[in-house]
Structure 1
Amino acid sequence: MNWSLHFLGVGAAHAVELGSSAVVLERDGEPLLLIDCGPDTLDRYQAAYGQPPEALYITHTHMDHVGGMERLFFRLWFDEAWRGRTKLFVHAGLMPWLQARVADYPNVLAEGGVNFWEAFRLVPCTRGFWLDGLWFDVFGTRHHMAGTSYGVALAGSFAYTGDTRPIPEVLARVAAGTELIAHDCGLVGNPSHTGIDDIERDYPEAWRSRFRLYHYGSEADGQVLASRGYAIARTGERVSLPEPAPARPEAG
């Protein structure tokens, strides 16, 4: 089998020309899992695959990562073939925030009678989740307040950090082999995001060839990161992945 990450968007919240950061895990060219759903993600996904996502994982609830979920609700609810079909994986600790952000407005339909989550197949998780026979590890990241952001990893294949400060001790656990590491990185870090100096200070040099940096601030910023010898993710790019490791019997 061939595995890849398809970067639908790679930009920081203000870098609208780069698209909202979101990726699709593909198996033999077919979408398996969408990670995050920003304001423009659904359009990009449907342009690529001609249908809504069958599975979606949310890293955290900032609007550049969940701002497309209302549109996804309407796309699913008004198509009986899709209503209640899309699996939505979200860490259980994020549910109050996600509920408040996207699902709690009175009457998701003007006519009433519909609950937001009825359009989805909601799957809360903590340590991880099963999808199509594969175990995905969910891990805490460092973005704003503790307990509000979570990355996802597929052993042997990839780790996707979502928005985060450096987390070397976590990645050493979930991506200790040859996995590709898609990592939040801009030119300058701040209390909620990683900068290139953070990468060079906090991660072993041997890891750097496995990084694919995204969530940068502009095309120019991306070029600077690339000029420093780092691989950056580009909007629309597909990056080949190693074959996932067999699912662990104790997982789940």
Structure 2
Amino acid sequence: MSWDLRFLGTGAAHAVALGSSAVVLERDGRPLLLVDCGPDTLDRFTDTYGAPPSALYITHTHMDHVAGMERLFFRLWFDDALRGRTKVFLHAGLLPWLQGRVADYPGALAEGGVNYWEAFRLVPCTRGFWHEDLWFDVFPTRHHVQGTSYGLALRGSFVFTGDTRPVPEALALHAVNGEQIAHDCGLVGNPSHTGVDDLEREYPAGLRERMTLYHYGSAEDGEALVARGYRIARPGDRVALPEPQPPRPTAG
């Protein structure tokens, strides 16, 4: 069995040519879980896999990570075979924010009679969630206001930070079994995002060697990160992952 993390887009919010940052966990080439759904993510997903996602995890509710959910709603609602089947996993604390961003506009359809979430299968969580017989850990990250962004980890396989400042306390818990790490990183950091100098200050070399960097500001910035010895993700890239390990005994 093969496991991969495919990067549909890798850019910061303003780096539209690189696509909105989003990844797909693949098992034997089949999409298992989409992480985030920005303005162009649905097109990139369907171009790659031929159908909309069956499961989606949301890290946080900035529009470059959730704006595609309106189009996904229409795609699902008007297909009887898909309506109500796509799971949407997110930390329970994000639900009010996501509701306000994508679901609160008066009338999901002009004709009325439709509640936005009826098109989906909403699954709020706190510590994590089960999907396809796998336990995914959810952990808080450092992006804008505390409690508004959460990363994702599959024990023994990968950690996806989402948008964040460095989170050594999270990686000390979730990246101790050889996981591949997809980490937010631009050439220069700011109060809400990691810069390359932050990586070098906060993480040991052994951890940085397992990182693939994304959410950078331009193709040129990406190549500058490569020149500094880092591996970056480019749109469409796949990173081979280790086989997931059983969840910790406390999970579930």
Same fold (TM over 0.5): yes
Deviations 1:225-246 (A, max 9, x none): 0000000011001110011002
1:83 matches 2:83:
yes
1:224 matches 2:221:
no
Match of 2:30 in 1: 30
Give percent identity, aligned residues only.
75
Return the letter of the residue paired with 2:124.
P
What secondary structure, in the 3-state scheme, does the structure 1 residue paired with 2:209 have?
A: helix
Return the letter of the residue paired with 2:127.
R
Match of 1:189 in 2: 189
Compute the displacement of 1:208 (Å). Answer: 1.2
Return the letter of the residue paired with 1:3.
W
* Structure 1 residue ranges, 4+ long, deviating more than 6 angstroms after superposition: none
What secondary structure, in the 3-state scheme, does the structure 1 residue paired with 2:23 have?
A: strand
Match of 1:115 in 2: 115
TM-score, normalised to structure 1's length?
A: 0.99
Looking at structure 2, the residues matched to 166 and 194 of structure 1 have their Cα atoms a distance apart, in angstroms, of 6
Match of 1:42 in 2: 42
Number of positions where the alignment pairs a residue of Structure 1 with one of Structure 2 = 252
1:51 matches 2:84:
no
5+ long unaligned stretches in structure 2 = none
1:67 matches 2:67:
yes
Compute the displacement of 1:250 (Å). Answer: 3.3
Deviations 1:153-204 (A, max 9, x none): 0000000000000000111101112100100000110000000000000101
Looking at structure 2, the residues matched to 181 and 240 of structure 1 have their Cα atoms a distance apart, in angstroms, of 11
Matches for 1:1-252 after TM superposition, within 5 Å? 1-252=1-252
Looking at structure 1, the residues matched to 78 and 177 of structure 2 have their Cα atoms a distance apart, in angstroms, of 44
Looking at structure 2, the residues matched to 247 and 139 of structure 1 have their Cα atoms a distance apart, in angstroms, of 15
Return the letter of the residue paired with 1:212.
T
What secondary structure, in the 3-state scheme, does the structure 2 residue paired with 1:190 have?
A: coil
Deviations 1:40-64 (A, max 9, x none): 0000000000111010000000000
Q: Does the 8 Å CA contact 1:26/1:33 hold for their aligned counterparts?
A: yes
Compute the displacement of 1:99 (Å). Answer: 0.3
Q: Does the 8 Å CA contact 1:166/1:194 hold for their aligned counterparts?
A: yes
CA RMSD of aligned residues (A): 0.6
5+ long unaligned stretches in structure 1 = none
Compute the displacement of 1:249 (Å). Answer: 4.3
Looking at structure 2, the residues matched to 133 and 251 of structure 1 have their Cα atoms a distance apart, in angstroms, of 13
Return the letter of the residue paired with 2:155.
A
TM-score, normalised to structure 2's length?
A: 0.99
